[in-house]
Amino acid sequence: MPDGLERAAREYLAHLAVERGLSANTVAAYRRDLARYLAYLAACGNHAVGEVSPRDVAAYVDAVRTGSDGGAVLSASSTARSVAAVRGWHRFCAAEGMSGTDPAVDVRPPAQGRRLPKAISTDEVARIIEAAGAGEGPAPVRDQALLELVYSTGARISEAVSLDVDDLDLGTGAVRLLGKGGKERVVPVGSFARRALDAYLVRGRPTFAAAGRGTPAVFLNTRGARLSRQSAWAVLRTAAERGGVSHPERISPHTLRHSFATHLLAGGADVRVVQELLGHASVTTTQIYTLVTPDTLREVYTASHPRALG
């Protein structure tokens, strides 16, 4: 890897982590995408950022879609993510004077089909949460509180496990969530989640906390430390299997977040309210939940058209 390219990449990744405050996972994803791009540039004979042309960038986009660079063939969504990393890097290099122009400014990722987020029914949500709370000891009390909270607030799993006790206000029924880019939002907590959290804070958390060193985290593991994202994922997967929902292997923490949004909109909530609750920067991101499914079309048609049934 030419020193000029590698140095420019390091500076950009440091900028993302320090100045823009992106999460470690996001920075790691950018690092992977840039590593493939820089390897491609080096193979094409580019040794500095200023040598890259718009044709080079466009050719790279074609390469990741076909795998002609020797790497994995990327889907449209993965290509879009990779192009975002490339465009951001070139924009940064131009702004910092490492290159005279931005060769990626006119490069666009391939169009993506808009897919409906995966959601499950309210009955399946209830079965998962009930299954999480089955059993004796503090763990089921914790697990049920965790899943109730995620579904009640639409929190990302990273937001839920990052909660500290001071972020909860069960008296007024609210929780302070720290979202992407360090943006805070205050979200209402429903009565089911409030009861589950209160039970956990009284009957579950003290048992876990006794094994630790006084961490302020809401959700603790058996060592008294903050529950990890991986452990929270395992809690949901186990509960989905025990709850007997269809295709439990497809259930993820994001499934509850998607279901939260879908069920709110189905109940008549305004899309901009759901946008605020989810912490989306743009309402366009939230509007994907308003797409009508074929089943909904059929149900509305059957119920509404005077000659649909005969």
The residues that are catalytic are 156, 180, 254, 257, 280, 289
Give the DSSP H or E segment for 4. helix 3-14
Virtual CA dihedral for 191, 196, 198, 202, nearest 10 degrees?
Answer: 170
Which residues is 177 bridged to in the sheet? 185
Cβ atoms < 10 Å from Cβ of 243: 20
Q: Helices 138-153 and 253-266: crossing angle, nearest 10°?
A: 50
First to last CA, the chain: 71
Q: Is 166 exposed, middle or buried (0-12, 13-18, 19+ CB in 10 A)?
A: exposed
Contact (Cβ atoms closer than 8 angstroms) between residue 229 and residue 189: no
E strands present in the chain: 168-169, 174-178, 184-188
Written as six digits, the tokens of 47 are 């040794």
Contact in structure between 54 and 103 (CB atoms under 8 Å): yes
